[in-house]
Structure 1
Amino acid sequence: MPYVERVTKAGKTIEVDRYYTSRYHKAGIKRGDKVRPTNEAQKKANTRKAERTLRLLLAENYQDGDLHIDFGYIRKKGEPYRTREEMRKDADVFLRELRKVYKQQGQELKYVHVMEVGEKGSRHHHLVVNYIDTRLIQAAWKKAYPQNSKIHFHPLDTNGDYSRLAAYLIKYTDKTVGTDEALQGKRWNCSKNLRRPEPEYRIIKDRNQYYTEPKPLKGYYIDQDSVRVGVHSEEFYGYGFLSYRMVRLE
């Protein structure tokens, strides 16, 4: 049974996963028979997979100076909350306005959008976008939703590692994903112009090499919080694995 190393480069990060596989051919990797996990274990595995996909997407498409936007509604006492359909319509109108603004600035809008219901029932949106003047973005939201509204801007980290942001956004989707209460059909929506990082695979023939301690490439450091090692049946089909993330040094 071969050992496989999957390396995914995204922006300033490189993610490495080493695991067993029961089958391999030239077109790529196929997994073997799956060990049936418990419902809770499967839910955790799905969350980890969603976080990985989103953080790679963010790392590949955004950089220092781009924006995480938190925008929502100021609800007067006694007013009903915005419904799921109303929130979707608000977001559609806002994104349509933003596309116009970005085009006027000679840019193309790149976005990731997540809708959220807060612990106390408040409704708001998260949007990750490439940078333009925040006053233009604020004006577009006011035009899309002219009633009482609020908007906050958070510049992205300089190191290009957006794992915490991805985990933060996915945490809220975990509450309702796959249920009738879900605000979106998917955990997030995004523009079609985002680049999707493609992994590279190689077979590890030397068993000792598989268990080698992770070492950063020159010009990178290893995010120690990202190092995971063990056996995970719901993710790697009952076999051992090692995964870690490297971040480019500034």
Structure 2
Amino acid sequence: MAYTQYTFDLGEYTAYEIKFVGRNGAKGEKRAKRQKATPEQMSRQNQWNKEKNLRYVILANFHTGDAWTTLKYPRGTRPDADRMRADWKKFRRLMTTYYKKHGIPFKWVKRMEIGKRGGPHIHLLVNHIDNIDLVIKEMWQKTIEDLWIKGRNYVNIAPFDIDGAEDVAKYLAAEPEKKGIEGQYNLFGEEEQKAFTRVDTSRNLIRPQPEKKKYSHWTVARFFRDGIKPRKGFYVVPDSVKCGVNKITGYSYIYYMEKRLKEGDRSPGDRTGGLADAVFPIDE
């Protein structure tokens, strides 16, 4: 039985997406019957793809030590989407100029948001540069100098960890109701709501494209029989292993990620099994 494997090179990580017919990849198995997707299933499928694609972009472009940032406004101020877009444009221009002066491209992923109490802010992942904390604070102060109150800090910065890329992607891509802040969004018009739920990225980021291969001389049954064996110098990230049947397409799938071992690291194991218990959220 043939299967198709999509391999994404993401730097330290490699992602594998395998599609096939049947539940266990055994000879003679048939593709499951396709079902008409319900709005809930489509929404879940689209959300999964949004989070996954964003995670791939983050893994391919950012590294441990980059800056996970929140740009805030003084308490009580309520700038609308137009003001926030204008502020972001000015801040981005200042940052781009600074990075260019130091011979480094400015890379970023950002989302504007309204908090549970109505406070506007901008979430931002940005690549590292020397004194990154001071640089971001200085440029944001210049951006909102008409609102900045002396002695206050309107920037939160935390070191980014590449192993937390999935959490960052989920947070940036999450729908307002998942954060309990949909009530604040309802105060805005449709266009502003779109602005507060969209994730934007700089144009200079790598957009991972898969290497696609179709295998016809052996089946994926070995994954269920023997588990997943990583390439030399890599290990399978245990929590990444998912499998199941996509009810919308009728195809079964296996998904997993490998991470490159660093010098001195010990592999958690040569194989990862348990595929029968690993299920994608979109299989529900």
Fold conserved between structures, TM > 0.5: yes
Partners of 1:34 and 1:116 in 2: how far apart? 37
Tell me how far 1:110 sits from its aligned partner: 0.9
Unmatched runs of 5 consecutive residues or more in structure 2: 22-32, 263-284
Q: RMSD of the alignment, in Å?
A: 2.5
Partners of 2:237 and 2:70 in 1: how far apart? 27
Partners of 1:216 and 1:74 in 2: how far apart? 50
Q: Identity percentage over the alignment?
A: 29
Tell me how far 1:121 sits from its aligned partner: 2.0
- In the alignment, is residue 199 of structure 1 matched against residue 210 of structure 2? yes
Tell me how far 1:182 sits from its aligned partner: 2.4
**What residue number does 2:174 align with?**
171
Write the letter of the residue equivalent to 2:255: S
Tell me how far 1:249 sits from its aligned partner: 2.0
| Maintained 8 Å contact 1:223/1:246 | yes
| Maintained 8 Å contact 1:115/1:183 | no
| Maintained 8 Å contact 1:116/1:172 | no
1:225 to 235, 239, 257: 239
Partners of 1:120 and 1:220 in 2: how far apart? 45
**What residue number does 2:252 align with?**
240
Write the letter of the residue equivalent to 1:20: F
Comparing 115-124 and 237-246, the one that deviates more: 115-124
2:199 to 188, 202, 219: 188
Partners of 2:3 and 2:196 in 1: how far apart? 36
Partners of 2:11 and 2:120 in 1: how far apart? 32
**CA 185–142 in structure 1, closer or farther in 2 if over 3 Å, else same:** closer
**CA 34–143 in structure 1, closer or farther in 2 if over 3 Å, else same:** farther
Partners of 2:35 and 2:2 in 1: how far apart? 18
Normalising by structure 2, report the TM-score. Answer: 0.74
* Higher helix fraction (1 or 2): 2
How many residue pairs end up in the alignment? 232
Partners of 1:56 and 1:126 in 2: how far apart? 18
Tell me how far 1:100 sits from its aligned partner: 1.3
Larger Rg belongs to = 2
Write the letter of the residue equivalent to 1:171: A
Partners of 1:116 and 1:136 in 2: how far apart? 22
Write the letter of the residue equivalent to 2:198: R
Tell me how far 1:82 sits from its aligned partner: 1.8
**What residue number does 1:162 align with?**
165
**What residue number does 2:90 align with?**
93
**What residue number does 2:143 align with?**
144
